[in-house]
Structure 1
Amino acid sequence: MRKTFLYSFGDNLELGERVLVDFNNRVTIGYIVGSVESKPGIKTITERIDGASFLSVHDVKMIKWASERFYSPIGQLFDLMIPTFVDEYAEVFVEPISDLIGLERLRLKDFLSVHGEKVLDNYLKKGFVKLRKVPAMKTPKPRLRELFVILNSSLGESLRIAKTPDEYDVINYLFSGEGATVGQVIEATGVGIEKLRRMEKKGLIRFTQTPILHNLVWEKNDLSLPSGLECKEWLVVKGSIERRFKVISDVLRKTLEEGKSVLYLIPLSSQIPYLTGMLQKYLGVEICVYHGGISKSQKAMTWFNAIKGEPKIFVGTRIGVFLPIKNLGLVVVESNEDESYYQFDEPVYDAVEMARRKALMMNIPIILSSTTGRIDDYHRLDKSRIFNLPDDSKNILVIDTRKQTSFLSDKLLEQMRDTLENNRGIIITVRRKGYAPFVTCAICGYTVICPKCDVAMSFHKSANLYKCHQCGHTEPVDDLCPKCGTRALYPKGYGTERIEKIIRYHFPSARIVRIDSDEMSYSTMFNRFVEFERGEIDILIGTRLVLHGFRLERVGLIAFLDLDGLLFQPDYNSRVHIFQQLCQGSEMVRNGKMIVQTSEVENEVIKHLFTFDTEKFYFKELQKRKDLDYPPFGDLVQVVLESEDPSIGWEIVSSCANSLSDEKILGPVEHPVFKLKGKYRFHFLVKTDALMRTLQKLDEVFTKLGKKGWRVLVNPPRLW
């Protein structure tokens, strides 16, 4: 639902408070978003759930703003602020309102066991008592195997306390490595969970959500942001994540010393162990983690810490912006240009824009830390609030692949060979997962297509199946062409799996690891980077996820194999995305080379590689967008309709576009991915200088045409 409803209640309620209401003859949870003068004939709120609000006034205002800004159901946004697990760890108390009954606060179950339900009902009706749900009365207990294990003291002190061979084994394993989970310790040493718990009681080890990076080398950097932060919004650009962290570390420390908390957003969960390790090592503070890859109990621990108001650093992915942190004093967004901050599924939102809004409403500073920043950062911020780190020298090689017959050019193989001989590591980036993105027939040209989507299925050789990366549909491999009947189906193109096979052929003695997000947990991915840095891995192969690690001293070469596919996509952001990826890659290399294989050596984006002048590139892009009324010089709304019948879908989407004739509209047309998950898609774009007006018109049209099947995306980082 994208609107609010009126109910009455005889007592004062707090903004953001949860209540039970009768909605369409069913009991439903509602959230208090405001109050108006009483009106006759409206329904009454059935019950207060918590007896108070977990949210601040600013939290409620932010949710209302996001609902309007991104055309998202307001109730779903509130559900992200107060997740369902809150009730699992809460207890209901009976609290006296009147002193006449001489009653102290009791747990509901204790009150019922002593006085019974009739007495409670009577007291509630007379207003003698009220029910109040108190959160965190039950302590969340995360699954131990998911937690990290760290030594509780120095190596010498630990060895002095240790008495058994098992304890020595665990201590030596933890000291030689970093960031080990309980599961990894058990597998490596054979020591069971009960023995680890006994070691914890002895003070030898402790369990934590985040690792401590003992081997991290602090990068020398005397630069730092002004401690006062007179400007409330700063953009810290260029340099590695470590250098940018050093620039803002004094501001983090000062915020905590003032007794306030920090919200630190990061795009991918695989980056969190490294960032939290830096925070713990150099600031020595408790870190609370919040993202979709941790267990419910871990999320609950962080959420309850957020509402307590004690000064802590909260690190999370985009969902972290919904943490109702009390006493928040600073917001930091790392790699704010990453599209992972945008939620394409309902409720749609942009976590970076919400973080900026949160900071603005609370009048607290926000720091956007990034290799390049977003293009609209340079349009919005003046230079006094942009903190540029000095550029390192770049060694870049662009290889023209127009005359190459192999997926790996001769020049690239030569550079890889030299890098390995110098005992340096290699990172290879490929856009697609699997063995090959297409499977075609050599005789008739038939391509294996997903039956639910209008896209080719990828071939995954390791699992011996065809897989659709849009809907997840899989089929067993068969080389028999269903069209001409010949056994001539063969894989075309390449993905990470095929590149791995080719590299193993050329470098049989190299230690090679492929990173695929759907096969690895965030902690495992982190450990792959640690193993790479230790010299236990020579070549890492992966999609753009490998660019979201951190600066690795061992990287001697990073190679981009197939960025050409992004250059000509029907998306106004594609050029910017390529530039951002290349800049991220360049920051991962120190005293090494970056290689880009391309058949578009004269392309303007490729030419900018040799300067990495972000401001110059962005200002050129901004001028083009200004001429065409693209963001940030207006808002772009993508309207998508999904229909089970293509003819009916075309008729409806055309009617919708025609109803908006006074708006600037591009389309409607068939979506580039016309069929997705069994439904046919059409879309059009609206350029607008009055977003609220346009969304209101769309809502009115949807009401007439039917609201089912529509998707509205405001300023998406890519067309959905």
Structure 2
Amino acid sequence: MTYEIAISKIPLKKTFFYSSDWELEPGERVLVDFNNRQTVGYVVGLTEPHCGTKPVLERPDGLSFLPTGMIEMVRWASQHFYSPMGQLFDLVIPSFVDEYTEVVVEPTTDLLGLKSLKLKDFLSVYGEETLDTYLKKGLVKLHRFVAMKTPRRRYRDLFVMLNIPLSKAVSLAKKAEEFDVVNYLFSAEGATIERLIEATGVNVERLKKMEEKGLIRFTTVPLFQGFEIKANDLSIPAGQNCGELLVVGGSTEERFRSIYSVLKRIIEEGKSVLYMVPLSSQVPYVMGMIQRSFTADVYAYHGNQSKSQRALAWFNAQKSGAKVFVTTRMGVFLPVRNLGAVVVESDEDESYYQFDEPVYDAVEMARRRAQESRIPIILSSATGRVSDYFNLDRSRIIKIKSERRKIFVIDMRKQTTFVSQELLDQIRSNLEKGNGVLIVVRRKGYAPFVICAVCGHILICPKCDVALSFHRHANLYKCHQCGHIEPAKDICPKCGAQALYPKGYGTERIEKIIRYNFPSARIARIDSDEMNHSQILDRLLEFERGDLDILVGTRVLLHGFGISRIGLIAFLDFDGLLFQPDYNFRVQVFQQLNQGIEMAKGATMVLQSMEVENEVVRHLFTSDTEEFYLKELQKRRDVGYPPYVDLVQVVLESEEPSLGWEIISSCTSSLDGEEIFGPVEHPVFKLRGKYRFHFLIKTKTVERTLSKLDDVLTKLGKKGWRVLVNPPHLW
């Protein structure tokens, strides 16, 4: 038999053919000879016989880990996003699988009188020669047996909760430090290990002993003391429980309540749910809601976990029974065996798009996976994507009614400071009422660039055509594109004057201004570059408990979950996004502003802007999301932009700019019949030491266009190219 095989790790966009006497399963891993070395491959499926094919050397697993529908999802993603199929399969079966399994030699006949043995035990008794002979004769087969190791607890990532009522806990506590822990946990309704140690001085060993006594318990997520499903929550009609649905408006909790009945039915049927969120910092929130709502086991799966924690979720995905997997974009590749539904939270978020190879859009892949598996997919979002309103019938869109918006736009053309007096007055008024304040700033650090007051020279990253940002707390300059850092200095490298000063503002500078104006307020800054998801969550929980008055941060603050203490949410410096050379940025600004409105129910929203007459700003007052999107769709239809066509961005990185221009010009001239814009120098011409050129292709037959492009790139040499299909922003 001849099989189509995708080769692991290689960047080639093609598959290869191998023969085998074994009956192989689709998705199964095999060992093959590729370029004269033994390599892992993945069985895509049976194919027509080919002459001169090499044989499959070994079946390391003896089975496929992939459930129905995933093979076609991977094949489609490879063709649609121009991604190597082998690299996509690598995401389905991560490398850690081999570390948690054992290979077993199983007899296929009773004639040998053998029992199943671990491979290492078989070899120690019978040797490799006997194994080779038995395998060739079909007397034994190799099978990979799941032998999970229990992941070690990472205490710094855990939360601590009281395990028993306060009255019992007080009687059970004997030592002063135990009383301190009990009192703190009761007043705070739980805390992270780090916060508890800081507040009480207790150590981890003492906490372990308190757990043994039954006083406290450790959990991976906060359990949302105030969250509950209400009888009058909006539920989806039974006739709409299948296919694709879009639930828009409201906070994440409100949307979760609206789909609760659907998820409950699926879990009661013994099936699992894949619940995707854009950011790992959002995973604990969703897990907390689910754990309070269902009895099913809940697992997290994202890149900020340890390898053993991801392995725990991955191997449980192979087992039967109702489970919920809360995950980021990588979870679309999680091989859940009995998947009953997919939920995508905040599907408009650009974090779902993987820009690095293998390139893919996790939302589109989730949609494809649901189609192939014939299961429902629910898109849950404050606004949704523009394409959602293009693809879905209006009967498939469930709207959650929003409260009347209290929005103020401050005209910054009349201001001389970064934070207007009107905003300071709003902050002061809310603090006096005991309300919390969120301040969302677009840029990180103290200032987005540094300029010389004498000659006007701006410090540029030596590897990129990007201004260096100033980070005051660490006293360094940093490039947010390549990560280059250097010590801060005040002497201009061009004119030698001691006149460098930071220009503009980021989260650090705004935090400093707020601290100056409100010295008695409890203020914290959230920076995703410096904090892990557990620390971010800890800050948000402190804010909700009332331990913090003001939070300053980037869009990571817009986590989508309602916080009752928010009295004011302010957006600063979003004007720059409105005029980026990208057709999607206006929509992204609208989405982020609406997400803030929906998560801060009843709160006042203040937007500082120099574009008070801009259409995006005006739509916050005058129309709902659907009206805004329908107008946007009309514009896109008139000029031919997604979703009416597919947009392919082709980028070439070259160490020599003249050679790069020659190569990319040859590429575009070879693509006859395609609607091409460019080539031109990329807006960020130099990035990580390489020079970039790009062009765009508009097409209504994207797979045909990509096939033609592949032929051209094969002739030109594929090194240095990046191909992105419908990216949320130009790369």
Paired residues for 1:13-28 under 5 Å: 13-28=24-39
Q: Deviations over 1:651-700 (max 9, x none)?
A: 11111111124111111111111100000001111000110111011101
Following superposition, the deviation at residue 478 of structure 1 comes to: 1.4
**What is the rounded CA distance, in whole Å, between the counterparts of 1:558 and 1:33 in structure 2?**
50
Q: Which moved more, 1:126-135 or 1:400-409?
A: 126-135
Instruction: Quote the residue 1:64 is aligned against.
Output: 75
**What is the rounded CA distance, in whole Å, between the counterparts of 2:103 and 2:201 in structure 1?**
43
Q: Which moved more, 1:95-104 or 1:466-475?
A: 95-104
Q: Which moved more, 1:167-176 or 1:596-605?
A: 167-176
Q: Which moved more, 1:134-143 or 1:436-445?
A: 134-143
Task: Provide the secondary structure at the position in 2 that maps to 1:264.
Answer: strand
Instruction: Quote the residue 1:47 is aligned against.
Output: 58
Instruction: Quote the residue 2:4 is aligned against.
Output: none
Could you tell me which amino acid in structure 1 is paired with residue 402 of structure 2? D
Paired residues for 1:435-474 under 5 Å: 435-474=446-485
Task: Provide the secondary structure at the position in 2 that maps to 1:20.
Answer: strand
Residue 246 (structure 1) aligned with residue 268 (structure 2):
no
TM-score by length of 1: 0.97
**What is the rounded CA distance, in whole Å, between the counterparts of 2:194 and 2:132 in structure 1?**
50
**Does structure 2 retain, via aligned residues, the 8 Å contact 1:336–1:374?**
yes
**What is the rounded CA distance, in whole Å, between the counterparts of 1:696 and 1:179 in structure 2?**
55
Instruction: Quote the residue 2:84 is aligned against.
Output: 73
Residue 544 (structure 1) aligned with residue 548 (structure 2):
no
Task: Provide the secondary structure at the position in 1 that maps to 2:240.
Answer: coil
Paired residues for 1:152-551 under 5 Å: 152-156=163-167, 168-178=179-189, 180-216=191-227, 221-551=232-562
Instruction: Quote the residue 1:104 is aligned against.
Output: 115
Change (3 A) 1:20 1:468: same
**What is the rounded CA distance, in whole Å, between the counterparts of 1:385 and 1:583 in structure 2?**
21
Task: Provide the secondary structure at the position in 1 that maps to 2:663.
Answer: helix
Task: Provide the secondary structure at the position in 2 that maps to 1:665.
Answer: strand
Change (3 A) 1:31 1:719: same
**Does structure 1 retain, via aligned residues, the 8 Å contact 2:298–2:326?**
yes
Residue 610 (structure 1) aligned with residue 627 (structure 2):
no
Following superposition, the deviation at residue 174 of structure 1 comes to: 3.5
**What is the rounded CA distance, in whole Å, between the counterparts of 1:454 and 1:33 in structure 2?**
43
Task: Provide the secondary structure at the position in 2 that maps to 1:49.
Answer: coil
**What is the rounded CA distance, in whole Å, between the counterparts of 2:551 and 2:526 in structure 1?**
7
Task: Provide the secondary structure at the position in 1 that maps to 2:38.
Answer: strand
Could you tell me which amino acid in structure 2 is paired with residue 378 of structure 1? Y
TM-score by length of 2: 0.95
Could you tell me which amino acid in structure 2 is paired with residue 504 of structure 1? R
**Does structure 1 retain, via aligned residues, the 8 Å contact 2:148–2:315?**
no
Following superposition, the deviation at residue 481 of structure 1 comes to: 1.0
Gapped runs of 5+ residues in structure 1?
none
**What is the rounded CA distance, in whole Å, between the counterparts of 1:136 and 1:549 in structure 2?**
38
Q: Deviations over 1:629-672 (max 9, x none)?
A: 11110100000010011111111111111112411111111111
**What is the rounded CA distance, in whole Å, between the counterparts of 2:506 and 2:355 in structure 1?**
25
**What is the rounded CA distance, in whole Å, between the counterparts of 1:580 and 1:528 in structure 2?**
24
**What is the rounded CA distance, in whole Å, between the counterparts of 2:581 and 2:87 in structure 1?**
31
**What is the rounded CA distance, in whole Å, between the counterparts of 1:509 and 1:437 in structure 2?**
28
**Does structure 1 retain, via aligned residues, the 8 Å contact 2:252–2:599?**
no
Q: Which moved more, 1:246-255 or 1:33-42?
A: 33-42
**What is the rounded CA distance, in whole Å, between the counterparts of 1:89 and 1:707 in structure 2?**
36
**What is the rounded CA distance, in whole Å, between the counterparts of 1:183 and 1:707 in structure 2?**
48
**What is the rounded CA distance, in whole Å, between the counterparts of 1:662 and 1:39 in structure 2?**
33
Q: Which moved more, 1:540-549 or 1:256-265?
A: 540-549
Following superposition, the deviation at residue 111 of structure 1 comes to: 2.8
Could you tell me which amino acid in structure 2 is paired with residue 564 of structure 1? D
**Does structure 2 retain, via aligned residues, the 8 Å contact 1:209–1:288?**
no
Change (3 A) 1:217 1:329: closer
**What is the rounded CA distance, in whole Å, between the counterparts of 2:106 and 2:217 in structure 1?**
38
Q: Which moved more, 1:547-556 or 1:202-211?
A: 202-211
**What is the rounded CA distance, in whole Å, between the counterparts of 2:110 and 2:168 in structure 1?**
56
Task: Provide the secondary structure at the position in 2 that maps to 1:517.
Answer: coil
Following superposition, the deviation at residue 138 of structure 1 comes to: 3.1
Q: Deviations over 1:263-321 (max 9, x none)?
A: 00000111111111111112243210001111111100000110112211100010011
**What is the rounded CA distance, in whole Å, between the counterparts of 2:642 and 2:19 in structure 1?**
42
Following superposition, the deviation at residue 709 of structure 1 comes to: 0.6
Could you tell me which amino acid in structure 1 is paired with residue 519 of structure 2? P
* TM-align CA RMSD: 1.9
Could you tell me which amino acid in structure 2 is paired with residue 440 of structure 1? I
**Does structure 2 retain, via aligned residues, the 8 Å contact 1:91–1:137?**
no
Change (3 A) 1:73 1:473: same
Instruction: Quote the residue 1:638 is aligned against.
Output: 649
Could you tell me which amino acid in structure 1 is paired with residue 575 of structure 2? D
Residue 597 (structure 1) aligned with residue 603 (structure 2):
no
Q: Which moved more, 1:569-578 or 1:608-617?
A: 608-617
Following superposition, the deviation at residue 205 of structure 1 comes to: 4.3
**What is the rounded CA distance, in whole Å, between the counterparts of 1:110 and 1:406 in structure 2?**
74
Instruction: Quote the residue 2:696 is aligned against.
Output: 685
Change (3 A) 1:122 1:139: farther
Could you tell me which amino acid in structure 2 is paired with residue 387 of structure 1? I
**What is the rounded CA distance, in whole Å, between the counterparts of 1:178 and 1:273 in structure 2?**
16
Following superposition, the deviation at residue 165 of structure 1 comes to: 5.3
The total of aligned residue pairs comes to 720
**What is the rounded CA distance, in whole Å, between the counterparts of 2:294 and 2:186 in structure 1?**
20
Task: Provide the secondary structure at the position in 2 that maps to 1:236.
Answer: strand
Q: Deviations over 1:448-470 (max 9, x none)?
A: 00000001000111111110000
Q: Which moved more, 1:220-229 or 1:248-257?
A: 220-229
**Does structure 2 retain, via aligned residues, the 8 Å contact 1:148–1:179?**
yes
Following superposition, the deviation at residue 44 of structure 1 comes to: 1.0
Q: 2:665 aligns with which of 654, 660, 664?
A: 654
Instruction: Quote the residue 1:33 is aligned against.
Output: 44
Could you tell me which amino acid in structure 2 is paired with residue 383 of structure 1? R
**What is the rounded CA distance, in whole Å, between the counterparts of 2:438 and 2:564 in structure 1?**
12
Q: Which moved more, 1:589-598 or 1:426-435?
A: 589-598
Q: 1:663 aligns with which of 674, 687, 693?
A: 674
How much identity, in percent, do the aligned residues show? 65
Following superposition, the deviation at residue 140 of structure 1 comes to: 3.1
Following superposition, the deviation at residue 60 of structure 1 comes to: 1.0
**What is the rounded CA distance, in whole Å, between the counterparts of 2:385 and 2:334 in structure 1?**
24
Instruction: Quote the residue 1:710 is aligned against.
Output: 721
**Does structure 2 retain, via aligned residues, the 8 Å contact 1:332–1:367?**
yes
Change (3 A) 1:182 1:120: farther
Q: Which moved more, 1:682-691 or 1:604-613?
A: 604-613
**What is the rounded CA distance, in whole Å, between the counterparts of 2:647 and 2:667 in structure 1?**
17
Q: Which moved more, 1:599-608 or 1:128-137?
A: 128-137
**Does structure 1 retain, via aligned residues, the 8 Å contact 2:569–2:605?**
yes
**What is the rounded CA distance, in whole Å, between the counterparts of 1:200 and 1:230 in structure 2?**
42
Task: Provide the secondary structure at the position in 2 that maps to 1:391.
Answer: coil
Following superposition, the deviation at residue 65 of structure 1 comes to: 0.7
**What is the rounded CA distance, in whole Å, between the counterparts of 1:181 and 1:531 in structure 2?**
10
Gapped runs of 5+ residues in structure 2?
1-11
**What is the rounded CA distance, in whole Å, between the counterparts of 1:138 and 1:429 in structure 2?**
42
Q: 2:598 aligns with which of 584, 587, 590?
A: 587
Change (3 A) 1:38 1:202: farther
